Amino acid sequence: MFIIFVNLKVSKILFSFKKYLNLFFLNKNQKRFIKHNYETFESHEKNNLNKKIILMELNETVPNTIAYSYIANQLSKKYNANLTAYFPRIPRKLSSKLIWKFRSFFGSPTFSIFKSFGINSFIIPSLNNHILKESRKIYNQQVPLLNNKYDIEKITINGILFGDLIYDYYLNYHKEPTIYAETKKFKRHLNYCIQLIVYWNNFFIDNDVEAINVSHTVYTNAIPLRIAAKLGINCFQTNANDIYRLTDENIFAYRDFVGYKKNFERLSHEQQASGIKKAKERIEKRLSGEVGVDMSYSKKSAFTTPSRDRLLNKSDKIKILIAPHCFFDSPHPFGLNFYPDVFAWLEELVEISYQTDYEWYIKTHPDFITETKLLVENFFKPYPNFKLLPSDSSHIQLVEEGIDFALTIWGTIGFEYAAMNKPVINASLNNPHIAYDFNINPKSREEYKNILMNLKDVNHKINVADVHEYYYMKHLHYNKNWLFKNFETFTSVFDSSVARTSSDVYSYWLNNWTEKRHEEILNAVSEFIISGNYRLISD
């Protein structure tokens, strides 16, 4: 036993050491990719460019870095501007500050790779007396306004909403399920985020920024994006799946769902019929228990064949299934919801349960991270009127046994249960199913509570054809092949987020690279930048 423990400890130390070395030393795949970029991309002499700059967020996820090389090249060409890479946050820990300083001075694989596709300079945000003074003033103005978590998510500074970003970053950084406005821990976090806002606001005042490209439109990654969008600067989010254009009126990626119904109606009858047929087939596969159907990240099915003893009570009471989301993974991916986080939503459901005579069931997804499962279990321990189901319970079995309603904020269960003709009530108007009526979509938190208090009066009719239409538009109409010729094949080779940080992705990319494909990507990105469209649509 002691030997096993020692071996595990040694393995962990070696892994950490290897990870540390990767921050500073190039490997053969990275060198090969850098050489390829210098040989392939048009070089722009710095002296020939104007003083405008394009900001490219530093990102160390390999597929995204490859994607950045293309949009960086075309943005620089389009706007005749210098490319500058930046880290979105002020390093918080002394160790992080030292590592960034060392990498900035001596270089690193990431810096070398970014230079290979035209980056001229690098920015790591830092503090000075002016920023500290201005931040303290804003902090002192904000703190008295924050009486609860609902106030936090609505924090606005200089006319720009930052509250949702501050909120989500706190949950993710501290791995806590909710926020309490009065705590010192949150106040330190708030002060840090305000310093970041002031830094980037001053940066945009002092520099002529023509465009910005970010990795996310949530968390503090989106702080410079929000400021840039307010100023009318060209804003983009790029990754290996998609490219989105963001504006002050539309600051989130992945909100295509708002136009699904209208865009489907614009398709030919042949496209519509073919799309519906494909969607029905894919939904049937998912509901049959096939793993990863249009969800490459999923490794377990929630729709297995019923194999347990009865899960629901035999009674005439209304039976409700709660499908909680991850507590830490941005609760605001598409905008504000009726509740600022999952924890607050569950607290409301507990209150409603005391005023009603329903049966309440909770089931986490079998893929849920351990921390979230434990939090859900601990949350409901004091409430015996809620029954926690095994995470590998089959939704098929729950439907067969008589679940009447399913509750989510904006989760995939919205279309999955609708496909089985079961009503789902969303706790947000910013949910992916909002263009259709197959879910119940209350207009406000008050209406949401009123519906839940009076479920016996709900008679919701579901048009399953709308579910098929939604599924086609969500998963099949817009392909993800703008960068990789077949993104599905790529994800089957690199089937996890860890695998996609491997430099082997560079080798895979170069082994499949052709001059023809290179030109196709450049042309597609160039046309998208010129078009003004919200999303790059690839053939």
Q: What secondary structure, in 3-state letters, does 18-79 show?
A: HHHHHCCCCCHHHHHHHHHHHHHCCCCCHHHCCCCEEEEECCCCHHHHHHHHHHHHHHHHHH
| pLDDT value of position 8 | 40
| pLDDT value of position 339 | 98
DSSP state of 234: E
Residues recorded for the chain: 539
What 3-state DSSP class applies to 499? helix
Tell me how far apart the alpha carbons of residues 67 and 483 are, in angstroms, rounded to a whole number.
7
Backbone dihedral angles phi then psi of residue 98, each to the nearest 5 degrees: -65, -40
Tell me how far apart the alpha carbons of residues 81 and 53 are, in angstroms, rounded to a whole number.
5
The one-digit pLDDT tens for each residue of the chain (539 residues) are: 434 433 444 444 444 445 555 566 799 999 999 999 999 987 655 545 678 999 999 998 999 999 999 999 999 999 999 999 999 999 988 888 788 777 777 778 999 999 999 999 999 999 999 999 999 999 999 999 999 999 999 999 999 999 999 999 999 999 999 999 999 999 999 999 999 999 999 999 999 999 999 999 999 999 999 999 999 999 999 999 999 999 999 999 999 999 999 999 999 999 999 999 999 999 999 888 787 667 665 666 777 777 778 999 999 999 999 999 999 999 999 999 999 999 999 999 999 999 999 999 999 887 767 778 889 999 999 999 999 999 889 999 999 999 999 999 999 999 999 999 999 999 999 999 999 999 999 999 999 999 999 999 999 999 999 999 999 999 999 989 999 999 989 988 887 777 778 899 999 999 999 999 999 999 999 999 999 999 999 87
Cα dihedral sign, 337-338-341-345:
negative
Angstrom distances, CA of residue 73 to CA of 83, 217, 432, 523: 9, 22, 33, 11
Nearby residues of 530 by Cβ (< 8 Å), 6 or more positions away: 78
Tell me how far apart the alpha carbons of residues 258 and 432 are, in angstroms, rounded to a whole number.
7
402 close to 319: Cβ distance less than 8 angstroms: yes
| Pair type for strands 53-57 and 209-214 | parallel
Letter for the amino acid at 423?
P
Q: At what angle do helices 94-106 and 109-116 cross, to 10 degrees?
A: 50
**Please, what's the b/e burial string for 132-165 (b: 16 or more CB within 10 A of its CB; e: otherwise)?**
eebbeebbeebeeebeebeebbebebeebbbbbb
| pLDDT value of position 160 | 98
What 3-state DSSP class applies to 362? strand
Count of other CB atoms within 10 angstroms of residue 78: 16
Count of other CB atoms within 10 angstroms of residue 455: 15
| pLDDT value of position 96 | 81
Return the C-alpha torsion angle 538, 297, 168, 66, nearest 10.
-50
- DSSP helix, strand, coil percent of the chain (3-state; round to 5): 50, 10, 40
**pTM summary value:** 0.92
| pLDDT value of position 369 | 73
Count of other CB atoms within 10 angstroms of residue 84: 18
